[in-house]
Structure formats: structure tokens, C-alpha cells
Structure 1
Amino acid sequence: MKPVYVINGPNLNMLGLREPDVYGKETLAGLEERCRRKAQALGLDISFRQSNIEGELVSWIQEARNAASGIILNAAAYTHTSIAIHDALKVAQIPIIEVHLSNIYKREPFRHHSYVSPVADGVLCGFGGQGYELAIDAIHEILTKKKG
């Protein structure tokens, strides 16, 4: 089976340093290890990526259309601003789960709108790193149903 792309947007490379009261103390490397363990337990492979560059995220989403079995996306701030990411996701034609470490609906009003949600199969927010594990469970469930 093709890997699941776990794509992380801007500033997530600063996890553990940036606003730990909002995002927690877990680093991106720790989050990646957590995701790898969870995926392995379910028989999935992941390709874990992070970029601060919008165009790179778009390119990875486009690549995923043929190279991945699904996408777990934390577009971070681009969630609220990027029509380009929205448009790339629309043509991906694979399962998409949107994930956020914090509950975006308990934060500033500008964070309440997502350009990702309308094209995602599901949205998880507010569960910290556990949200990524839940997203891996969700992708696994979707892929299992597609097979069967």
C-alpha cells in the first residue's frame, strides 16, 4: 500500500518552543515518532513532512494524488488563508483528514474559518498530538472500507 502523507505547515517545526500552553511541549520529531508507531501498529507506512512554504505544501498534495493512499494535513496558518491548498486538495482524490493540535474554535475568530475543511473527509482539532493518532485511525478505517 502507498504511504499516508502526514503534511505539516508553517511554524510546526517550532513545536515544543512556540506557545507550549497552546501547542504543548511535544516537538515535531516527537510527534513524528508517535505517528510512526501508530501507523506501524495498523500496518501503514507514513511519509512525514513539514514546510513553512505554501507552494511546497501544494506540491506535496499534488504529488500525493498518485504517490499516497491518503493525506493527514495540518496546514497550520495556511488553513485559514490558502485557496491554493484548497484547490490542490480538491483534485487529490484520496482520503483527507484535517488535523490541528489546538481547538481552532476556541481561539481568535480569524482561525474559525478553514479552507481545508470543505474538501476533507474529517476534521480533528483540540486533542494535541493525540489528534494525529486519531487521524491515522480514521485514514486506516477509510482505506479498509475502500478495500472491502
Structure 2
Amino acid sequence: MERKPCSNSKVVKTTLVFPPDTNHHGTLFGGKLLAHIDDVASIAAIKHARQPVVTASTDSVDFLAPVTVGQSIHLEAYVTWTHHTSMEVFVKVITENLMTAERTVCNTAFLTFVAIDKNGRPAPVPEVYPETEQEKRMNESAPARAEQRKRRREKSKEFANKIGLQE
């Protein structure tokens, strides 16, 4: 399988925030933003793997600034690191006041996707390699995030087993 650069998977999406997208404070619903994030991240993962993918985890989603009605949100995503069948995708969200041109990074997120074959089983993915300084930093720090994810998943499983199906 041929290695691919991070830039090969880059996805960009811009959308306008309308009143139905917001809560009673006039700010974008967090779940609505999460849907946009999962959308661009999954496209980046599919572009890299060139096969179907499933979201395995969403670990770091940091809401840094509110997004209000009339602003646009600009999302950028790309694959930062790969393992055998999984891919880490970084998403950056920038809000823009379209009247003043003021732009703010309002959200960052890391998601993990697993490529799947026609039988729904995990499938190998090509290795990714960084080119820019930002991509290199993301790629170098990815194994530590993967280890944190592994520990968090183990704790989540333990917790789920403890609470069981009791009502």
C-alpha cells in the first residue's frame, strides 16, 4: 500500500449559521457543530483510505468561543496519523463574522476512524506522512494521543461493565 501525504486527505467546508441551528442564547448547538465535525472528518478519512469508514472515537472536542447566528463556520480536516486499520483526523473550526471579517478558532477536535471492508471488518489503511511543520507536530504527538485513547477506552469499558443494564 502506497504512503500518502496528510494534504491528500484535506477537506474544507464552510457553512452559515441560521436561527434553527442555535439555542435560546442565539449560539450554535454543540451537537450541530459535532455533526459538522464528524462529517468533514469522515470525508477526510474516506479520502485517505478510499474505502468506507466508521467513527471509533471523538476524543478532544474543545469549544473555545461561541458561534452566533449570521456567522459562518469554516471547518478544515485532515488525517494526521495512521495505524494498521485506524486513522486519526484533526479538525479545526474557525468562526467568521461576515460583516467585520473577524475570525476566531472556535473549536478543535481529534477523531479516530476505522476503515472497514465489504464484510464490515477492519481493513488496512495506507500510511500517512506529514509535509508541513504543523502536520509534523500533529504526526509526532499522535502516538501519545493514541495511547491516551486506549486507556480511556479501557476505563469506559470497565465503567460500562460496572453499571451494566440496571435501570
Higher helix share: 1
Answer with 1 or 2: which has the greater Rg: 2
After TM superposition, the score normalised by the length of structure 1 is 0.25
After TM superposition, the score normalised by the length of structure 2 is 0.23
Higher strand share: 2
